[in-house]
A and B are shown apart, each in its own frame.
Chain A
Amino acid sequence: DAKTTQPNSMESNEEEPVHLPCNHSTISGTDYIHWYRQLPSQGPEYVIHGLTSNVNNRMASLAIAEDRKSSTLILHRATLRDAAVYYCILRDYSTSGTYKYIFGTGTRLKVLA
């Protein structure tokens, strides 16, 4: 299974942009890059995903390196409600032809008021 590597923790000041990095050097050509976050006492929730091009949605932006071996989740203006564990994962294909999500340990983001 393809794996991702993220820093264990990061801090950001409120109202400032946050760049959360992820390395996935063993990514294959068909692996989508997904980001999820987990707020305290909740299940993970979807943030954004992409394959090759940079992506934007109402929550965040995803910048994907040209060689696809790394990506960066960008929160444009961090708020206290963005404090969570952020997971970068690869949507991996299984032997049955379907796909599965393999999580790593994520980055714990602390937002300072």
Chain B
Amino acid sequence: DVKVTQSSRYLVKRTGEKVFLECVQDMDHENMFWYRQDPGLGLRLIYFSYDVKMKEKGDIPEGYSVSREKKERFSLILESASTNQTSMYLCASSPSQGAKGGTEAFFGQGTRLTVV
């Protein structure tokens, strides 16, 4: 089975801290995504990556950056955490358009981040 693993299920950080959220996938997928999920707002795309070292902004990139040094790992970085970044963060991966097996996305279990 495809597996997308997020490093932590729950995380509590202080305002101003630099926070790293890690995501690893084991299916050699080209595409990886970071979303945040808030009540009433659904899932909102923060950043995505379509290849190693390649990234593109999503709908809400402000206050975040990302890193993809290896194909299987996609990191979300909060440079200086703020309380309004308290949220559920979801990572996903999917194969490129032309790959066999379809282009569905596979999600991790999520990281619930609380910034105090």
Contacts and interface: CB of A to CB of B under 8 A. Distances in A.
B105 A101 contact: yes
Interface size class of A (residues with CB under 8 A): 20 to 34
Interface in A67-113: 87, 91, 94-96, 98-106
Given A43-B90, A49-B104, A96-B50, A101 B45 contact: yes
A85 to B, nearest CB: 8
Nearest to B2: A46
Contacts of A32: 103
Contact of B40 (A1, A49, A101, A105): A105
Interface size class of B (residues with CB under 8 A): 20 to 34
A98 B104 contact: no
Given A45-B107, A95-B56, A103 B43 contact: yes
Interface of B is mostly: strand
A104 B106 contact: no
A91 B92 CA distance: 14
A96 B97 CA distance: 13
A105 B102 contact: no
B103 to A, nearest CB: 7
A40 to B, nearest CB: 12
B59 interface: yes
